[in-house]
């Protein structure tokens, strides 16, 4: 039986997820769309989901008998209300990051799902589905001994003027925050931020670059350079240093060119291209679990821990050099 999916929020990623569900993946189809901007929903319907009904609100979509599972791809501040409504309706729900814009909001989702007693929520941390990170995890677990350190970088060529210093955590580092917990099977105990000399390309309300230092419960030390006006490209780096060796995230596939006395390969410039294949894998996982009435992959708990850890990193930005402790509550049995 095909899973009937409704999409709340038909902007950039909502439309693209609707396209992949209708045109690329198997086992599901888009039956309903909703957006505060009805023109956006109509455009998505015309482009990729001709059989979908447009519903006035996200709540109507969640309640619709034509919808078995829900994709929440609206603006971040609206995620919590829709995820809670999907849990209340007992419908599997894929929620783009962030799960909620506050740790308290994410906690309400964890509590609601734990009370429901079964996994219903998958959070859109797609890097866990990236082939490169999966290969890296396999090597880290089997070949380089106990991990001791991680050196990483998240670099964007440029960001718009609305991008301010805390967004380097909430919008950018959030992906590293989740993927390193998964990669190392560990949790954070502290965060510290230090600011090098500011790039002359940074905007007035953005300190760029910054270095985030994380410590894990097992004692691994992680340094992440976040540099969002690096000019040269969109570049994600990650090297894990273990007791027996090092393992690095592979570079994206690129043609090697030898020309005019230079050896070159291109670097991506658009973040959308970097993890494009992982979105297909993550949503297929969502469909497969939703067909069984449940959810898989990154949990509400992961979304909650990411929110707590992000808040600590923002507090660390506000007190440069100070080590901010990260304390997690007990993990509910559902997420053991
Ligand atoms: P976007 O293009 O602005 O799309 C968001 C859409 O949601 C817009 O059409 C917006 O309408 C609509 N919307 C806002 N409030 C709504 C509500 N209450 N009910 C229904 N629709 C509502 O943004 P986006 O780039 O697609 O991002 C959407 C979410 O995905 C964000 O949380 C973002 O962080 C996340 N995201 C994740 C990744 C990833 O790599 N995992 C990548 C991109 C985005 P208006 O335009 O009229 O406000």
Evaluate: CB of 64 within 6 angstroms of ligand 1.
Answer: no
Q: Cα–Cα distance between 69 and 290 in angstroms, integer?
A: 7
- Going from the C-alpha of 197 to that of each of 80, 200, 222, 321, the distances in angstroms are 38, 9, 21, 14
* Residue 81 in this model has a pLDDT that exceeds 90: yes
Best residue among 19, 20, 35, 178 to mutate for probing ligand 1, ranked by most atoms within 8 Å of CB: 35
Residue with tokens 């997420």: 335
Q: How far is the CA of 295 from the centre of ligand 1 (A)?
A: 22
* Residue 317, Cβ density class (10 Å: 0-12 exposed, 13-18 middle, ≥19 buried): buried
β-pairing, 235-242 vs 147-155, is antiparallel
E strand or H helix that includes residue 80: helix 79-89
For residue 290, count other CB atoms closer than 10 A to its CB.
Answer: 25
Calculate the CA 268 to chain-centre distance.
19
Q: How far is the CA of 96 from the centre of ligand 1 (A)?
A: 9
First to last CA, the chain: 30
Evaluate: CB of 13 within 6 angstroms of ligand 1.
Answer: yes
In contact, 249 and 238? CB cutoff 8 Å: yes
Q: pLDDT band for position 16 (50/70/90)?
A: very high
Evaluate: CB of 266 within 6 angstroms of ligand 1.
Answer: no
* Residue 1 in this model has a pLDDT that exceeds 90: no
Helix/strand/coil for 106: helix
pTM recorded for the entire structure: 0.97
* Residue 47 in this model has a pLDDT that exceeds 90: yes
Best residue among 34, 38, 57, 74 to mutate for probing ligand 1, ranked by most atoms within 8 Å of CB: 74
Query: Which residues, including other chains, have CB under 8 Å from residue 292's CB and lie 6 or more apart?
Result: none
Evaluate: CB of 276 within 6 angstroms of ligand 1.
Answer: no
Share of the chain above pLDDT 70, in %: 100
Of 118, 111, 76, 85, nearest in space to 6 by CA: 85
| Neighbouring-strand partners of residue 96 | none
For residue 255, count other CB atoms closer than 10 A to its CB.
Answer: 7
Evaluate: CB of 76 within 6 angstroms of ligand 1.
Answer: yes
Q: How high is the pLDDT of residue 12?
A: 96
Residue with tokens 């976040």: 226
**Stretch 178-191: mean pLDDT, rounded?**
98
Q: How high is the pLDDT of residue 134?
A: 98
Q: pLDDT band for position 41 (50/70/90)?
A: very high
* Residue 51 in this model has a pLDDT that exceeds 90: yes
Evaluate: CB of 47 within 6 angstroms of ligand 1.
Answer: no
Is the Cα torsion angle 73, 77, 79, 82 positive or negative in sign?
Answer: negative
Of 72, 81, 167, 88, nearest in space to 123 by CA: 72
Calculate the CA 50 to chain-centre distance.
28
Q: How high is the pLDDT of residue 322?
A: 98
Q: How high is the pLDDT of residue 233?
A: 98
Of 119, 80, 64, nearest in space to 72 by CA: 80
Q: How far is the CA of 8 from the centre of ligand 1 (A)?
A: 9
* Residue 200, Cβ density class (10 Å: 0-12 exposed, 13-18 middle, ≥19 buried): exposed
Best residue among 10, 36, 177, 283 to mutate for probing ligand 1, ranked by most atoms within 8 Å of CB: 36
Evaluate: CB of 252 within 6 angstroms of ligand 1.
Answer: no
Evaluate: CB of 126 within 6 angstroms of ligand 1.
Answer: yes
Helix axes 12-23, 276-290, angle to 10 degrees: 70
Residue-wise burial string across 33-46, b where 16 or more C-beta atoms lie within 10 A, e elsewhere: bbbeeeebbeebbe
Q: pLDDT band for position 107 (50/70/90)?
A: very high
């Amino acid at each position: 039986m095909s899973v009937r999916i409704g999409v709340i929020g038909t902007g950039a990623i909502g439309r693209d997820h609707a396209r992949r569900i209708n045109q690329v993946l198997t086992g599901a189809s888009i039956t309903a769309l909703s957006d505060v901007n009805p023109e956006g929903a109509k455009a998505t319907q015309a482009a990729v989901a001709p059989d979908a009904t447009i519903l006035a609100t996200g709540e109507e979509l969640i309640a619709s008998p034509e919808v078995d599972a829900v994709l929440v791809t609206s603006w971040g501040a609206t995620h919590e209300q829709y995820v809670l409504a999907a849990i209340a309706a007992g419908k599997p729900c894929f929620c783009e990051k962030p799960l909620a814009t506050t740790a308290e909001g994410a906690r309400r989702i964890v509590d609601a799902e734990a009370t429901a007693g079964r996994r219903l929520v998958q959070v859109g941390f797609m890097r866990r589905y990236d082939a490169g990170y999966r290969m890296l995890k396999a090597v880290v677990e089997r070949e380089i001994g106990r991990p001791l350190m991680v050196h990483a970088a998240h670099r964007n060529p440029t960001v718009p003027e609305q991008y301010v210093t805390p967004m380097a955590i909430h919008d950018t580092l959030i992906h590293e925050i989740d993927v390193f917990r998964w990669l190392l099977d560990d949790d954070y105990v502290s965060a510290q931020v230090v600011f090098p000399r500011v790039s002359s390309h940074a905007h007035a309300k953005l300190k760029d670059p910054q270095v985030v230092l994380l410590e894990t419960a097992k004692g691994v030390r992680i340094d992440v350079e976040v540099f969002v006006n690096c000019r040269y490209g969109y570049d994600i780096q990650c090297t894990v240093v273990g007791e027996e060796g090092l393992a690095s995230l592979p570079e994206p596939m690129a043609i090697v060119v030898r020309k005019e006395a230079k050896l070159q390969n291109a670097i991506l410039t658009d973040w959308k291209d970097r993890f494009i294949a992982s979105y297909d894998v993550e949503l297929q996982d969502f469909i497969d679990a939703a067909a069984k009435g449940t959810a898989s992959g990154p949990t509400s708990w992961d979304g909650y821990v990411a929110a707590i850890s992000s808040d600590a990193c923002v507090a660390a930005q506000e007190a440069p050099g100070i080590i901010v402790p990260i304390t997690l509550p007990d993990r509910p049995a559902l997420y053991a």
